[in-house]
Structure 1
């Protein structure tokens, strides 16, 4: 009899189906060209579980709504409408899209211009085989946060030039934060969208950096973004980044890992640091940490490819 009781207790512990003090809830969905998943633990009480499940369902409903607003392939999406018409007239947008626009423009200031959602006109020019100097000049004139005007009182947007915006390098972080903000009564767990994740409570996370080196993190209500420089966006950027209105570095970056208090900041910094380069990025993180109330919430790890010498890691945590 005791044997069966011990077995039953073990099953309950492993499955967390109500025999212990906590219940594990999971959900997965596909939005924004990315698989999103959430795994949270809540107190194993009916009055806690039911609201938590409702908030988890609501979080994924917000992701579906966000996907419909940001789908560049749909002529009915808000981003398609903005890029087609906002240079001609003032456009009304949803509060969620407006909030993302505002965060994106603020991120440009925060990163000293190394993150910018208006680079799309320049990128498009270099999708052609041989862009002329005139077309490059027109595209360069259309980039820059100065070309997007926001009316904060009415959630309205107007382009001041023939610019276009692209949320590709911030949308996952924004979505993760949006979903995380919907969740209630969470003691631990995570929300993850592709290479961006937010972890509730205390979490030990191990990431493989190189063949010989692992990164062991101790997180506490923090986000992690991982940038892989083998992605086609970064590989193809060599053609157009020399035309940016700032000096873009050309370090041999293989991977960037950023820890920050929220997913938007983590994703924005990871992408900005690719163009900023190692030296400027370490200086930027140091400046951020001097102003932050929780300095340990900000770190960056660069995995650099040294060709015949293999890979090496440079970290703000070592400074």
Structure 2
């Protein structure tokens, strides 16, 4: 799916990147003071200084993911959200540098954004698929560089083993990454006004077929209604419970026996007798009994 930035947005993004990269680096002691001030006193000035100083980390991460075709400014924005999430959860007392802690949050926020927006088809819904999505290109490039040829079945097998995924997942992701989304409203070429959707077959029934199907359904319903009139009350109850109910609502012979006060075998006999009457009634219309799904 193509994503574009206008020239004004690109210039604004470039200015923001230059300004962020010029921010001074923090010493370990000053970083600890800022993180403690935000955690203990909710000092927003300390938070802003901490975020500004490590915005270069966001930009660096965003640049590593720019080849996925999404605007760098959007990647930076999402990475900034990850940076703020890291600042909200950072524990300075653990003596870990904030940059080390924040890297995971920044990368995770950017990756989630890419998976949501790279294609209109949801990609990377599981942890293994996400790992495959972000590592397939790199591993494929390494294999092709070492072998001097394209990726073959042996190379795909190696990728599957390295990432601990199924070979079919590798093949499927390779196909997904090799193509891009295309609008069905896009023109076939510059010389024609025809769109791709104009060549999609409509698999729905046509007006004539729909009318015939509707007529057949109504006709069968009339035949069945007339045929049921030839049954007595007990036979009709059995047919409705055994032959006309939805699959999950079909009543067993034993249950019907208890309900009617007869044995299971007697219910079976009554059912067969009722089916015989229905077949005879339906055949008077020149129809086949299985048109009404009454065959035993």
TM category (shorter chain) comes to under 0.3
TM-score (ref. length: structure 2): 0.23
TM-score (ref. length: structure 1): 0.22
